[in-house]
Amino acid sequence: MTLRSWLFVPADSERKLARSDDSAADALILDLEDAVAPGRKAVARDLLRDFLTARPRAGRHRQLWVRINPLDDAALADLTAVMAGAPDGVVVPKVNGPADVVRLSHWLDAFEAAAGLPAGSTPILPVATETPAAPFALGDYARQPLPRLAGLTWGAEDLSTALGASTNLDPAGGWAFTYRMARSATLLAARAAGVMAIETLYTDFRDPDGLLASCRAAAAEGFDGRIAIHPSQVPVINAGFAPTDDAVDHARRIVEAFAASPGLGTVGLDGRMLDIPHLRQAERVLARHAAIIRRAVDERSDLGSK
């Protein structure tokens, strides 16, 4: 699964829901939580149920995920309203650790059975650092079977609120140490669990150059994609998390060099000695490039058939 851009869409806005059909995002996060005022939750559930039902899972050219409210808040009411619409996945906020994923998984078992959906067909993406306890549990995601776990993402805003912090930034404008630690631990935990690592949002949607640089840095570190808070951020994120032409060309040359010397564990290329880890990374770059090309072709085919 190659999902680079995840665009938040408030579920209580008919206009924004309708416009999301034209988004180039790989996935939409249809939000029932922070983007919806408490008095609008019921309206948002009704709008979202209708939105999902009008777009059957088999005919979607992008994934439609739902961010529910926290498990101890209104999550059950959210799932009751929307699961018949077969969301492609559920984003769950303010989790404290894998036990919350297990708890939600049991709920989804029941909702899938009631809606006639295939068992286990609704994966989960936890926002895994929004409570003070959550970062300490990140390593536990790899220590138990969590078949619905699709990835891990992190958030700084709710965590800073929970800590009573006046800011989550350092004097230079980057993340303060606590949040850098949570971010790095999320990446490590996702890789240990064998799932996607999704970078948090970039708040200044009027700064595409800064966003692109940040996305390229995150991709270089190992993140798979990023959350977007504004439609204008989507093409920038897609570009930032796609291998560049130079990277693809270099990866091909590495693979070709090893193919030309079968049985060898090291080869020389451009004055450098490369070993098997370099080959594996080159193969990952080419696989990601191929997956992005396939997604674009499939999307054009889906749109052309409508």
Q: How many domains does the chain have?
A: 2
pLDDT recorded at residue 156: 93
Residues 168 and 260 in one domain: no
Residues 192 and 218 in one domain: yes
Q: How many CA atoms lie within 13 A of 111 on its CB side?
A: 25
pLDDT recorded at residue 305: 55
Question: What is the total residue count of the chain?
Answer: 306
Of 208, 240, 272, the residue that ends a domain is: 240
Residues 219 and 295 in one domain: no
pLDDT recorded at residue 67: 98
What does each of the 306 residues of the chain score in pLDDT, given as a tens digit?
A: 679 999 999 999 999 999 999 999 999 999 999 999 999 999 999 999 999 999 999 888 899 999 999 999 999 999 999 999 999 999 999 999 999 999 999 999 999 999 999 999 999 999 999 999 999 999 999 999 999 999 999 999 999 999 999 999 999 999 999 999 999 999 999 999 999 999 999 999 999 999 999 999 999 999 999 999 999 999 999 999 998 888 888 889 999 888 888 888 888 888 899 898 889 888 888 888 888 887 776 666 655 655
Residues 290 and 144 in one domain: no
Q: Which CATH number do you get for residue 190?
A: 3.20.20.60
pLDDT recorded at residue 301: 61
Q: 281 lies in which domain range?
A: 245-304
Nearest to 212 by CA among 230, 234, 245, 193: 234
pLDDT recorded at residue 230: 96
What is the chain's alpha carbon radius of gyration, rounded to the nearest angstrom? Answer: 20
Alpha carbon 126 to its chain centroid, in Å, reads 9
Q: In this structure, are strands 266-269 and 272-275 parallel, antiparallel, or unpaired?
A: antiparallel
Of 184, 218, 240, the residue that ends a domain is: 240
Model confidence over 170-193: pLDDT tens digits? Answer: 999 999 999 999 999 999 999 999
CA distance 135 to 220: 23
Express as a percent the part of the chain with pLDDT over 90: 79
pLDDT recorded at residue 246: 87
Residues 174 and 275 in one domain: no
Which CA distances in Å does 254 have to 26, 248, 277, 290, 292? 29, 10, 11, 16, 20
Of 219, 240, 261, the residue that ends a domain is: 240
Residues 118 and 230 in one domain: yes
Residues 227 and 295 in one domain: no
DSSP character at residue 175: B
Residues 148 and 278 in one domain: no
Residues 63 and 189 in one domain: yes
What pTM, to 2 d.p., does this model score?
0.89
pLDDT recorded at residue 217: 96
Residues 182 and 231 in one domain: yes
